[in-house]
Amino acid sequence: MVTLALPGLCWLAGCGRTSIDLGTADQATGTAASGGSPGVAGSSPGGTVGVGGDDGGAAGTASGVAGAAGTAGSNSRAGSAGSSGRAGGGGEPAVPNCGTLRCDPHAVCDRGGGTPTCVCVPGYVGDGITCEDEDECATGTAECAPEADCINLEGSYDCVCREGYVGDGFECEDIDECAEGTDDCSDLATCTNQPGSYTCTCDPPYLGDGVICGIGCPGHDFGTDTSAFILSGTSAFDSMAPSCGGVPDAPDFTGVFTAELTGEYDFLATGSTSALVLAVFEGECGTTELACTADGSTGVAATLQLPASGTATAVVEGANGRGATFDFRIRMRSCPNLRLAEAPATLQDTTEGHGSFHTTSCGGAWTAPDFTVVFTAPTTDTFTFDTVGSEYDTVLALLDGSCEGNEIDCNDDSYGLQSEVSADLAEGESVTVVVTGYAGAYGPFMLNVT
């Protein structure tokens, strides 16, 4: 409490003195400051007007109480009441803090227009009495770079450059991954920078997604080699689609093979730790599927009849599209070289280069190479086989059933140096025709079936 002695106003009776009691400003304790004390009567005429209380406490919850009217002096008028002190400015006020308004904690009181008004601080929106967080990201008022993501915060926001860019979010620059060497492109691919990213493109003739590149189809060229035995596996990309279990976009292995001699060939994928799918297509990476096999085992095989210089492509996938490793090889069967189920028919080929697997009883030496044909009767009839038109001294033999059957007919010279054999066959019954040469002879032959 502060007590001041102020000079009174001098009237006829002389100058009286009035004691004025000022309200004090409490500290931020949450209590209200008191108003001024009533004016005390002056001893001389004219007590002065009582002065109101000072500001309330910094954290006060109410304004100062108005001072009471001054008591009249003996020769004076009563002092008028003091005005109320302002509310404390600390914690949330319990009574109006902006004239007659109670502002939101996130607002300020604007007294510049004559009438006090509550105004939300930046980052908040509302009428000042109630203020809510402004989502600058949603309203589009955020000033993030086009390459940045806006993140709303309470009363504010933040900007973060997207992946592929660097900066403070308000300014972002593209990262050139290709120039900086931070890309993951294959060594067989070309890296091309893009805004915020990059692309990888396999260099011709390689195929793949750019991250992994390799030779497409064929992945391996066996040529005419039937002795190769390779450890292989599926590549990183899909070249062809087997019909018996192939999965779109599944990694596969492709190998092209060209038959040097007419014959039956086995395409084998074995030793895998998972089930496999195997298909053989005509030609080099052709579209016509000649064979397809799949099962739950760890190995698959397909047998295909190919003419001399005929080409086929093997495709191997892991079942259900899984990658797999396996042993792959191609081998030629010793017998038969050909299968036939029609008559009349004429075949032209050669015994040159073939192995010697059969010794006939009528002059075919064990040193003479042979060519074998499994013939299945299309009807019940007598069928004749001859080598008229061949270019060397031939020998013909018939075996009962398969290649391992007993000899049932043999002939050396029926038409000069050419031979002829026959058999009565029921529909669906098979015999194996062995074309060989006398005393080790070999060469181009013609086999006529009637």
Domains in the chain, start-ordered, CATH in brackets? Answer: 1-95 (no CATH), 177-208 (no CATH), 227-332 (2.60.120.380), 338-449 (2.60.120.380)
H/E stretch holding 180 reads helix 177-180
Residue pair 64/53 in contact by the 8 Å Cβ criterion: yes
pLDDT for 139 equals 92
Q: How far apart are CA 325 and CA 331, in angstroms?
A: 20
H/E stretch holding 178 reads helix 177-180
pLDDT for 346 equals 97
pTM here is 0.56
Amino acid identity, position 135: D
Confidence of residue 208 (pLDDT cuts 50, 70, 90): confident
Q: Are strands 371-376 and 338-340 parallel, antiparallel or unpaired?
A: parallel
Q: How far apart are CA 78 and CA 76, in angstroms?
A: 7
Q: What is the DSSP letter of 61?
A: S
**CA–centroid distance for 198 within its chain:** 15
User: Starting from the edge strand earliest in sequence, which strands make up the sheet with 289-294, in order?
Assistant: 220-223, 252-258, 311-318, 276-282, 289-294
Asked if the model's pLDDT at residue 283 lies above 60, the reply is yes
pLDDT for 212 equals 76
Provide the residue count of the chain. Answer: 450
Residue pair 107/120 in contact by the 8 Å Cβ criterion: yes
Q: Pick 399 or 13 by higher pLDDT.
A: 399
Number of H helices, E strands in the chain: 2, 32
Q: Which residues contact 28 (CB under 8 A, 6 or more apart)?
A: 57, 58, 59, 60, 88, 90, 91
**CA–centroid distance for 33 within its chain:** 69
Q: How far apart are CA 157 and CA 139, in angstroms?
A: 12
pLDDT for 166 equals 96
Q: How far apart are CA 234 and CA 232, in angstroms?
A: 7
pLDDT for 66 equals 36
For residue 151 the two structure tokens come to: 């993140």
Neighbours of 139 (CB within 10 A): 10
Stretch 182-188: mean pLDDT: 91
Residue pair 308/261 in contact by the 8 Å Cβ criterion: yes
**Phi, psi (rounded to 5 degrees) for 138:** -80, -35
Q: What is the DSSP letter of 101?
A: B
Q: Which residue carries 């060594």 as its tokens? A: 187
For residue 167 the two structure tokens come to: 């900066």
Q: Which residues contact 194 (CB under 8 A, 6 or more apart)?
A: none
Q: How far apart are CA 288 and CA 211, in angstroms?
A: 31
Residue pair 275/296 in contact by the 8 Å Cβ criterion: yes
Stretch 173-191: mean pLDDT: 94
H/E stretch holding 11 reads strand 2-11
Residue pair 330/267 in contact by the 8 Å Cβ criterion: yes
Work out the mean pLDDT of the chain and round it to a whole number: 79
Residue pair 2/22 in contact by the 8 Å Cβ criterion: yes
- Highest mean pLDDT of the ranges 61-75, 94-108, 146-160: 146-160
For residue 408 the two structure tokens come to: 């049932």
Asked if the model's pLDDT at residue 70 lies above 50, the reply is no
Q: How far apart are CA 351 and CA 250, in angstroms?
A: 42
Q: What is the DSSP letter of 320?
A: G
Least confidently predicted of 11-25, 27-41, 79-93, 408-422: 11-25
Q: Pick 386 or 227 by higher pLDDT.
A: 386
**Phi, psi (rounded to 5 degrees) for 442:** -155, 170
Q: For residue 330, what are the β-bridge partners?
A: 267
Q: Which residue carries 């009286």 as its tokens? A: 16
